[in-house]
Amino acid sequence: MYSKTLRVSARALLQCINRRANLPNTHVFPVGHGRVGPSRLYYETAKPVNSLAGDACVRRVDLRSDTVTKPGAAMRQAMAEAEVGDDVFGEDPTVNELQKMAADLFGMEAALYVPSGTMANLIAVMVHCRERGDEMIVGDLSHIHIYEQGGSAQLAGVHSTTVTNLPDGTFDLDQLESKIRHGYPDAHYPRSRLVCVENTHNIQGGRVLPLHFLQEVKSLADQYGVAVHMDGARVMNAAIAQKVAPSTILKNTHSVSVCLSKGLGAPVGTMLAGAQDFISRAVRCRKALGGGMRQVGILAAAGKLALRDMVNRLEEDHHHARIFAQALLECEPPLYEVDMAAVQTNILRFRLRDPSLTPAEFCALMARVGECDGATTGQGIEVLMFPHIGGSIRAVWHLGISLEDTQLAIEKLKFVARQHSQKRHRSE
For the chain (428 residues), the mean pLDDT of every run of 10, in chain order, is 35 35 31 33 45 65 96 96 96 98 98 98 97 95 96 95 97 97 85 97 97 98 97 98 98 98 97 98 97 96 97 98 97 96 97 95 92 64 94 96 97 94 78
CB 203 within 8 A of CB 36: no
Distance in angstroms (rounded) separating the CA atoms of residues 169 and 208: 7
pLDDT at 120: 98
In terms of Cβ atoms closer than 10 Å to its own Cβ (0-12, 13-18, 19+), residue 162 is middle
Could you say which DSSP state residue 46 is in? P
Size of the chain in residues: 428
pLDDT at 267: 97
Q: What is the rounded end-to-end Cα distance, in angstroms, of the chain?
A: 42
Q: Which of 273, 329, 320, 331 is nearest to 114 (CA)?
A: 273
pLDDT at 185: 81
pLDDT at 375: 57
pLDDT at 373: 63
- For 95-107, the DSSP string reads HHHHHHHHHHHHT
Using left for φ > 0, alpha for ψ between -120 and 50, and beta otherwise, residue 378 falls in left
Could you say which DSSP state residue 34 is in? S
CB 125 within 8 A of CB 229: yes
For the beta carbon of residue 339, count every other beta carbon within 10 angstroms.
13
pLDDT at 55: 54
CB 59 within 8 A of CB 407: no
Distance in angstroms (rounded) separating the CA atoms of residues 412 and 278: 49
Q: Report all structural domains of the chain as residue ranges with CATH numbers, in order of start.
A: 10-62+313-427 (3.90.1150.10), 73-309 (3.40.640.10)
Could you say which DSSP state residue 214 is in? H
